[in-house]
Structure 1
Amino acid sequence: MNGPRWLDEQEQSAWLAFLTTAALLNRRLDQQLERDSGLSHLQYEILVRLSAAPDHELRMSELAGALLDSKSKLTYQIDRLEQAGLVRRRSCPSDMRAVYAVLTEAGQRTLERAAPGHVAAVREMFLDPLTPEQLTAIAEGLGEVGSRLRGER
């Protein structure tokens, strides 16, 4: 009879370190962005993805997939960003079911104001404490986990 593969001490330590660090990092980045720009971390990521997209727009379903979030949660965030004038929606003339999120000029300006503080916070909280070797190990290890979760392996 095969039972569960319990975590050994090293695995448990790694798992708990990951959970704790991810929660603390997300909380602190949310606080920094809210304080400096009035954005949540998710809203900032939405603006970043739209800014990087061709014509600064993405189909809502594509944006939800890229953010690994539910369509309903994305819709709520887009509603809030739209009310703030940072994003607008547009429909697709060839597919009435398709809705696009489009970054506005005000959204681009907000992103440009928020980015320096956000990057400084990411450096201070995540990158600076690590050696180049540790960064490589994290990138490779989490890259493998991400590939498996996406079904690429």
Structure 2
Amino acid sequence: MLILIPRHPDRFTDFPKNTAYRSKEDCILEKTSLYVVDTFGETQKFYQSASFCVLGGSITPEGGGHNLIEPVAEGCAVIHGPYFHHCPELYSAFIEKKASYLAKDVQTLTKIIQNFLIIPQNSKIQSQRAYEVYCSTQEEIHSYLDYISSICKEIIVKK
């Protein structure tokens, strides 16, 4: 089953049959092929139970990259695309130490996912490597989190 956690759930409303939605409290059945987490503030629990994730916001130039710290901190292996201009230094640290997988195109993305599905140990090894990088770069990570927090506070104040 694929679990999809869209950043903008309102843009994702037309899914195939056998899709369950978190906001509707749909039950996950044996035939469920897609589970859409269209609620906010719950990514942590899904990262904790996933062996790997694909950060979709880094697949297209418009995305600019999502925070890869969230899944890494929860022990989830990370696959991302080449577009991470919102936080290049952070991604670079993981790429340099082979602590994340960079999928430059659909073929590479498919191969990485197949690798993780066929040999689950590979995602465990990658997530351990990523967690080591995460622990070694705590200071830099905290500065990013402080920056993100300040942006969130600005948004809240404007409302």
Whether the TM-score (by the shorter chain) exceeds 0.5 is: no
Q: TM-score, normalised by structure 1?
A: 0.33
Q: TM-score, normalised by structure 2?
A: 0.32
Relative contact order (alpha carbons < 8 A, sep ≥ 6): 1 or 2 greater? 1
